[in-house]
Amino acid sequence: MKRVKIGINKLKKFLKKKWKSIKEDHAIRNYFKENVLFVSFVVTCVLNATILRFFCMHSIENYLSWKAILADTMITIAIGSFGYLLKPKNRFAYYLVLDILLSAICVINSVYYTFYTSFASISMLSLTQYIGDVGDAVVENVLQLKDMIYIIGPIALIVVHLRLKKKNYDKRIDIKSDRKKKMLHTLAFSGVLALFFLLTMSALDISRFMKQWNKEYVVMRFGIYIYQANDLVSSIQPKINAMFGYDQAHKDFLDYYAEKEEPTTNEFTNMFKGKNIIVIHGESMMTNAMSLSFNGEEVTPNLNKMASEGMFFNNFFSQVSVGTSSDSELTYNTSLMPTKSGTAFVSYSDRTYVSTPSLLKEQGYYTFSMHANNADFWNRRTMYNSLGYDRFYSKTDYVVEKENQIGLGLSDKEFFKQSIEKLKEINTEHNNWYGVLIMLSNHTPFSDVEKYGEFNVDITTEETKEDGTVEQVTYPYMEGRKLGNYFKSLHYADSALGEFMTGLDEAGLLENTVVILYGDHDARLPKKDYNYLYNYDMETHDIRDEEDEEYKEYDYYQYELGRKVPFIIWSKDLIGSEYNQTYNYIMGMYDVSPTLGNMFGFRNKYALGHDIFSIRDNNIVVFPNGNWVNKNMYYNSQKAEYLPLTEQPITEEEIANNTEYTNKLLDVSNNIIVFDLLNPEKNSTLEEEGEKE
Ligand code: GP9
Ligand code: MN
């Protein structure tokens, strides 16, 4: 301890001495005087980046974010430092080229932001349609002063250069070793800034930086230059991944589908052919909440009504990886699994996909998606073209008033209300249509509690006191816990769902329509909250002891099994019919496309899941991390352990076979996406097949 104190004191003394000598020698002033061109380069670039944030993000914390300013400063100092390796007469050209390049980044992003309220991505340049859009955008937008303001940077640099030239600064002679030293010192300084920057980073910052899709956040936190560099790397990476191993991937792909059994027909085949389809993407909806009530009030009365009137699959699992909502959309649409690295929506949006909307489109359906969030969230704007949607109704198609916002954006109630108007129009314009409506309000962290409406998650009872008076007593239960807030939020989303169904009915939109609802993934809630939910003892106002007979263990397996999400197929015709049942087959998101295909009369040849009515109890659901579940067990691949789900003995052979099946399926799925194996131009076998057909 004493030693540390002495060390700190020594460091303090050293820094004080250094600072004093810097002050006495006027070192800072001299540095600025001697390095005017370099300093001007750094200042203009940082200023441009700040102006860009000013025009794009209208709150002061965003455009004056010191973290972004620090990031922009350290990166421009770092790249500018290499200018010192050049002779003084050549430096201006170096800084000018860089300044023009960095200003161009600002101009492009400024134009792009005006059109798409998001920042530009290099990966989109590979899409010709995007080039067209941006081309038009630039032409129409060219006169906007705010997009051109960034050229002030290079102009200022030229002015500085011309003034310095009068003093013959570029004729100075310096020695090579001094240049190297100066460059290293400058680079080291940017290194110190970088270290400081790294220390301020949170886990959320790192995760968002890696995923890159929340572009506003990344720009606000890391600055535009680092955002664009990161974007460049993440755009190139999929191309590098696809450079090696194509032949093996192609062979495995052919073998896999050669062995795959052809689907059979059954009593559900074509039962809904020609009907319109409304799909509801239920943000963070979980099956376990459907059986819960607080003080006699169900958490999800409308969802429960829908389940009780239609076909309800109560052992249905989402199969997402880090791409959460987007992964569930990928698997729902294509029956492929999320990629092993990156996310399909962001990294592999230019691949060919065989999907539910593209197959319905072939049958003459008008296909669309509706989501009142920014169209670039999860790169949907681009990916939806690859998935075969005709139209994406996004935030700009909705009126988003401040008072109608919950959590990430427009409230579900308002979203549904405005969507019904659009659906009415679509219904008059198209014979057959297929639309996915993506909900938003029930999104983590479920903290907009005051906007969810009244829903008591504590236990309130009426108790008769000794003197005979009746008193209301409230026991602290789920109030103030994340899980409690989730129930309130879900109750709100459920009520929005109820209003939507009523609105659809009133608009006459349910007559020839099948409504499909899926929960996109679980709500990622703390295990300890479930422990509290299932083990709260009203008598003691506390959590039950583990020794207690009634104690319900909520371990790893309970948590994993508890992540089930609802899957419901509803139509007026189903109510009271023989199919109006709860189906408890183990089922995954990848089984949806083949199941709907069987019912609506289309076939996805490359589906990795199954029509649930062809496979029923023999189904297996695999997860991106290699875990799997069937009716007999939940298998934890990391620990090579399992939880039995039946009384039947489990054999080593079953485990080995299913694990092999899982690994093969995950490999084939990943290869299809990474190597673009469904693209006839990349996979000649598909072309031949097409010719035969
Ligand atoms: C974003 C919404 C939520 O538009 O779909 O995405 P998530 O965070 O659940 O992946
Ligand atoms: Mn989601």
- Give Cα 162 distance to the centre of its chain: 49
Question: To which H or E segment does residue 82 belong?
Answer: none
Ligand 1 atom closest to the Cα of residue 377 is: 4
Query: How far is it, in rounded angstroms, from Cα 683 to Cα 252?
Result: 13
| First-to-last C-alpha distance (Å) of the chain | 80
Task: Average the pLDDT over 233-253 and give the result.
Answer: 87
User: To test the ligand 1 pocket, which listed residue (373, 381, 446) has its Cβ within 8 A of the most ligand atoms?
Assistant: 373
The pLDDT, as a whole number, for residue 166 is 84
Cα(361) to centroid(ligand 2), Å: 25
Domain 254-692: homologous superfamily in CATH: Alkaline Phosphatase, subunit A (3.40.720.10)
pLDDT band at 178 (very low <50, low <70, confident <90, very high): confident
The pLDDT, as a whole number, for residue 129 is 39
The pLDDT, as a whole number, for residue 137 is 43
For atom 9 of ligand 1, which residue has the closest CA? 325
Cα(422) to centroid(ligand 2), Å: 23
Q: Does ligand 1 lie within 6 Å of residue 374's CB atom?
A: no
The pLDDT, as a whole number, for residue 2 is 62
The pLDDT, as a whole number, for residue 342 is 80
The pLDDT, as a whole number, for residue 175 is 75
The pLDDT, as a whole number, for residue 341 is 80
Q: Is the pLDDT of residue 622 over 80?
A: yes
pLDDT per residue as tens digits for the range 458-516: 999 888 988 889 999 888 899 999 999 999 999 999 999 999 999 999 999 999 999 99
Segment among 35-39, 122-126, 623-627 with least mean pLDDT: 122-126
Q: What is the dihedral of CA 483, 484, 490, 495, to 10 degrees?
A: 170
Q: Is the pLDDT of residue 301 over 60?
A: yes
**Which ligand is closest in space to the CA of residue 282?**
2
Q: Does ligand 1 lie within 6 Å of residue 211's CB atom?
A: no
Ligand 1 atom closest to the Cα of residue 409 is: 4
Query: How far is it, in rounded angstroms, from Cα 397 to Cα 380?
Result: 15
Instruction: Quote the mean pLDDT of the chain.
Output: 90
The pLDDT, as a whole number, for residue 234 is 81
User: To test the ligand 1 pocket, which listed residue (211, 280, 283) has its Cβ within 8 A of the most ligand atoms?
Assistant: 283
Q: Is the pLDDT of residue 177 over 80?
A: no
> Domain-by-domain residue ranges, the chain?
35-244, 254-692
**Which ligand is closest in space to the CA of residue 374?**
1
Ligand 1 atom closest to the Cα of residue 324 is: 10
pLDDT per residue as tens digits for the range 408-426: 999 999 999 999 999 999 9
Ligand 1 atom closest to the Cα of residue 325 is: 10
Q: Does ligand 1 lie within 6 Å of residue 328's CB atom?
A: no
Q: Does ligand 1 lie within 6 Å of residue 523's CB atom?
A: no
Cα(324) to centroid(ligand 1), Å: 7
Give the angle subtended at the CA of 447 by the CAs of 444 and 450, to the nearest 5°: 140
Helices then strands, each counted (H, E), the chain: 26, 22
Q: Which range among 110-119, 200-209, 575-584 has the greatest average pLDDT? A: 575-584
Cα(519) to centroid(ligand 2), Å: 8
Task: Average the pLDDT over 306-314 and give the result.
Answer: 98
pLDDT per residue as tens digits for the range 641-689: 999 999 999 999 999 999 999 999 999 999 999 999 999 988 877 756 5
Contacts of 597 (CB under 8 A, 6+ apart): 356, 359, 603, 604, 607, 611
Q: What are the Cα distances from residue 176, in Å, to 34, 173, 182, 392, 571?
A: 17, 10, 10, 58, 79
Query: How far is it, in rounded angstroms, from Cα 170 to Cα 188?
Result: 25
Cα(65) to centroid(ligand 1), Å: 25
Q: Does ligand 1 lie within 6 Å of residue 438's CB atom?
A: yes
Q: Does ligand 1 lie within 6 Å of residue 324's CB atom?
A: yes
Q: Is the pLDDT of residue 130 over 60?
A: no
For atom 5 of ligand 1, which residue has the closest CA? 325
What is the number of other CB atoms lying within 10 angstroms of the CB of residue 640? 9
Q: Is the pLDDT of residue 138 over 60?
A: no
Segment among 27-31, 35-39, 252-256, 490-494 with least mean pLDDT: 27-31
pLDDT per residue as tens digits for the range 74-112: 999 999 999 999 988 899 999 999 999 999 999 999 988
Ligand 1 atom closest to the Cα of residue 281 is: 5
For the whole model, what pTM was predicted? 0.79
Query: How far is it, in rounded angstroms, from Cα 273 to Cα 434?
Result: 12
Cα(510) to centroid(ligand 1), Å: 27
CA atoms within 13 A on the CB side of 378: 19
Q: Does ligand 1 lie within 6 Å of residue 485's CB atom?
A: no
**Which ligand is closest in space to the CA of residue 324?**
1
Q: Does ligand 1 lie within 6 Å of residue 380's CB atom?
A: no
In the block, residue with structure tokens 């039946």: 646
Cα(329) to centroid(ligand 2), Å: 9
> CB–CB of 183/99 below 8 Å?
no
Q: Does ligand 1 lie within 6 Å of residue 610's CB atom?
A: no
Closest by Cα among 515, 501, 456, 166 to 311: 515
For atom 3 of ligand 1, which residue has the closest CA? 325
What is the number of other CB atoms lying within 10 angstroms of the CB of residue 251? 10
Q: Does ligand 1 lie within 6 Å of residue 427's CB atom?
A: no
> If DSSP codes are grouped into helix, strand and coil, which group holds residue 405?
strand
The pLDDT, as a whole number, for residue 638 is 79
Q: What are the Cα distances from residue 416, in Å, to 189, 273, 370, 419, 423?
A: 53, 26, 10, 5, 10
Q: Is the pLDDT of residue 128 over 50?
A: no
Show the 3-state SS of 326-367.
HHHHHHHHHCCCCCCCCCHHHHCCCCCCCCHHHHHHHCCCEE
**Which ligand is closest in space to the CA of residue 415?**
1
